[in-house]
């Protein structure tokens, strides 16, 4: 099955982070925690020196599936999300957002929605707040160049071997669905 592009994915919330500017500079509140259903356990940063780097598309299955709050605090990224939830009205669809430090946009990504991005500017830094710790035995990648047919906006300069050998969409969706049955 090829996932279809959507204008938005059910449960993904786009919001603007709060910024207070004065003569000294800026104070920015990155996280709005009201969307999270679980407890927040991890904050993380992803440093990406080169334009064209692709990271993802990643997800974790139950009992370690995770909600994410993602923002770009330096630079710019093309952010892609894919709905793996079998009962969602946007199951099998993907959409993208441009996140930049200047625009102050952040994404809330619910459990069962896979996530990846490509850097559009050098030295892009991504900030994550996660509801679950990394659990390698429950963590998967979807091939970012496979059956999802995501049109990455710039030439790919770097991608991990893990991501290149990631699952097809249908296998990823099955993996997530089966984890829900064990929950």
What are the C-alpha distances in Å from 110 to residues 35, 103, 141? 9, 22, 17
58 is catalytic: yes
Number of domains in the chain: 1
pLDDT tens digits for 52-86?
Answer: 999 999 999 999 999 998 999 999 999 999 999 99
97 is catalytic: no
Domain containing 155 — which CATH number? Answer: 2.60.120.10
CB 158 within 8 A of CB 70: no
Of 58, 97, 115, 127, which one is the catalytic site residue?
A: 58
How buried is residue 48: exposed, middle or buried, by Cβ count under 10 Å (0-12/13-18/19+)?
buried
Domain that holds residue 140: 4-182
Q: In terms of Cα–Cα distance, which of 141, 143, 124 is closest to 52?
A: 124
Alpha-carbon span 77 to 49, nearest angstrom:
12
Of 127, 128, 134, 138, which one is the catalytic site residue?
A: 128
pLDDT tens digits for 110-145?
Answer: 999 999 999 999 999 999 988 888 899 999 999 999
């Amino acid at each position: 099955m090829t996932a279809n592009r959507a204008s938005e994915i059910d449960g993904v919330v786009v919001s603007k982070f709060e910024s207070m500017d004065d003569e000294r500079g800026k104070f920015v509140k990155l996280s709005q925690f009201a969307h999270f259903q679980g407890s927040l356990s991890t904050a993380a940063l992803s440093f990406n020196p080169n334009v064209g780097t692709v990271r993802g598309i990643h997800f974790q299955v139950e009992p370690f599936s995770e909600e994410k709050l993602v923002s770009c605090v330096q630079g710019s990224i093309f952010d892609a999300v894919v709905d793996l939830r079998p009962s969602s009205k946007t199951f099998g669809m993907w959409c993208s957002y441009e996140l930049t430090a200047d625009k102050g946009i952040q994404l809330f990504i619910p459990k069962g929605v896979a996530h990846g991005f490509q850097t559009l500017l050098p030295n892009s830094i991504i900030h994550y707040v996660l509801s679950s710790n990394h659990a390698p035995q429950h963590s998967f990648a979807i091939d970012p160049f496979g059956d999802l047919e995501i049109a990455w906006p710039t030439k790919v300069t770097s991608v991990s071997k893990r991501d290149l050998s990631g699952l097809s969409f249908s296998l990823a969706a099955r993996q997530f669905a089966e984890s829900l049955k064990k929950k």
